[in-house]
Amino acid sequence: MTKISEILEYNKNFVENKEYETYIADKFPAKKLAIVTCMDTRLVELLPRAMNLRNGDAKIIKNAGAIISQPFGSVMRSVLVAIYELGAEQVIVVGHTGCGMASINADRMIASMHERGIHPEVFNTLENSGIKLKRFLRGFSSEKEGVIHTVEIIKNHPLLPPHLPVHGMLIDSTTGELELVVDGSEQD
């Protein structure tokens, strides 16, 4: 694990050497794109390179699996802010091969929570408050299905501007090759 002191030391040099200069951009996405994708470590640099995105080009919204579990949750809010406040004119949902959310095992994760010291009482309290943990920790059965589902949620959202294209893609986590899963321009 990288220690905080190492990060801060590196950062000091980064700023002093003005390495930031090649990244200067403003908050409005130059390519007028909003991208919803996964937090997977393999995509950190690969996705922007493979899609020819540089600093300032796109709003990139990430979470585990590029999933929108709540139509009125923070991911969808981010998409709407990107559109209405920052000028995004297209949305692309990008899933990826080998996504952890395709193989997530809620039972295993709950067992791990027990092992790491979450008190059994907590699970009872949550269950009694109507929090369905297994549902909360649910992923999808295939990466492609996950992309299609997220595209549908965005496309059908009552606050999405009419005719705004919402596309779906799958990126190969190794080669960066993109597959178009949903062509949102067809809906116009």
Using CB under 5 A as the criterion, which residues of the chain lie in contact with Zn ion when the complex forms? 38, 40, 99
Among residues 68, 45, 29, 33, the alpha carbon closest in space to that of 171 is found at 45
Mind giving me the DSSP string for 27-85?
SS-TT-EEEEEE--TTHHHHHHHHTT--TTSEEEEEEGGG----TTSHHHHHHHHHHHT
What's the min distance (Å) between Cβ of 139 and Zn ion?
9
Among residues 166, 183, 182, 186, the alpha carbon closest in space to that of 79 is found at 166
Q: Smaller CB distance to Zn ion: residue 38 or 88? A: 38
Q: Smaller CB distance to Zn ion: residue 32 or 63? A: 63
> What amino acid is encoded at 36 in this protein?
V
Q: Smaller CB distance to Zn ion: residue 32 or 42? A: 42
Q: Smaller CB distance to Zn ion: residue 25 or 44? A: 44
What's the min distance (Å) between Cβ of 75 and Zn ion?
14
What's the min distance (Å) between Cβ of 149 and Zn ion?
14
What's the min distance (Å) between Cβ of 144 and Zn ion?
13
End-to-end, the C-alpha distance of the chain in Å comes to 48
